[in-house]
Amino acid sequence: MIPYFKFTTLSLGPITIQVWGLMVALGILCATWVAVRMARSRGQNEKIIWDLSVWVIAGAFLMARVFHAIYEPGYYLADPLEFFRIWHGGFSVMGGFLGALIVGVWFLRKKHVDVYAYADTVIFGLPLGLFIGRIGCFLIHDHPGTLTDFALGVNYPDGVRHDHGLYLSLNGLILFLVFLWLMKRKVKTGTYIVVFLIWYGTVRFFLDFLRATDGAIVDTRYASLTPAQYLAIAMVVGGVCIWKRKLSSKH
């Protein structure tokens, strides 16, 4: 098992840096840099990727906050102004995906470029960003899971538990390595979109069954599933549909 520790802030003289925010920022930067490298190799406009990242980040964080409110509706209904106190934390990466999709498609269409090809390029760097960003979740342990005797369980003060931050970070790393392998095989444009949607959606759907149900704050569930699980199902269905329409043809 992994010993429990908590690393929430980093002090640099009079400046206090939030570790979670730092890791998320590093993840976004690295993911964008990798996407830019992919754009360069594909002959795409690198500036569009950098500009796109700004808009996508804004849309992702907004929808991530909205989606988090769906997780804890009672919390926000009791104090609606809490929605705007983003320094208290409370973001859903699944909601972030949705926000990024909406804003990203809008931006790319505005630029009159191949939305499908550019989206595939951007998604190539996403798993690396998730790997780094989720390390921040693991360091602050904000996603404890159910009790377990699994070797990668974290020894929380109240027992050994699954840690979603750790699992999702490792998932991002593995998926990025798969993407590097696919890159060497010179796969069709759109492959990264399909693989990401199906892979991440499947992993997230099953991992959410391991979310803690005995803590002070329990995720709201709808028909026994978390909001993220419904979005995960949509991701898998979307991935399969894109695969059938764009990649399954021999031509």
Mean pLDDT over each residue of the chain, to the nearest integer: 91
pLDDT at residue 211, rounded to an integer: 87
Residue-wise pLDDT for 112-132, tens only, equals 999 999 999 999 999 999 999
Question: Residue 249: which pLDDT band, with cuts at 50, 70 and 90?
Answer: low
Q: Which residue has the higher pLDDT, 68 or 97?
A: 97
Nearest to 211 by CA among 199, 195, 200, 224: 224
**Which residues make up each annotated binding site?**
134
According to DSSP, the β-strands at 154-156 and 2-3 are parallel
C-alpha radius of gyration, the chain, whole number:
19
Q: How many DSSP H helices and E strands does the chain contain?
A: 8, 6
Could you give the 3-state DSSP secondary structure of residue 11?
strand
Tell me how far apart the alpha carbons of residues 123 and 192 are, in angstroms, rounded to a whole number: 6
Whether the per-residue pLDDT at 251 is higher than 50: the answer is: no
Q: Encoding tokens for residue 58?
A: 């804004």
Distances (CA, A) of 250 to 120, 157, 188, 243: 19, 55, 11, 12
What are the domain boundaries of the chain? 2-247
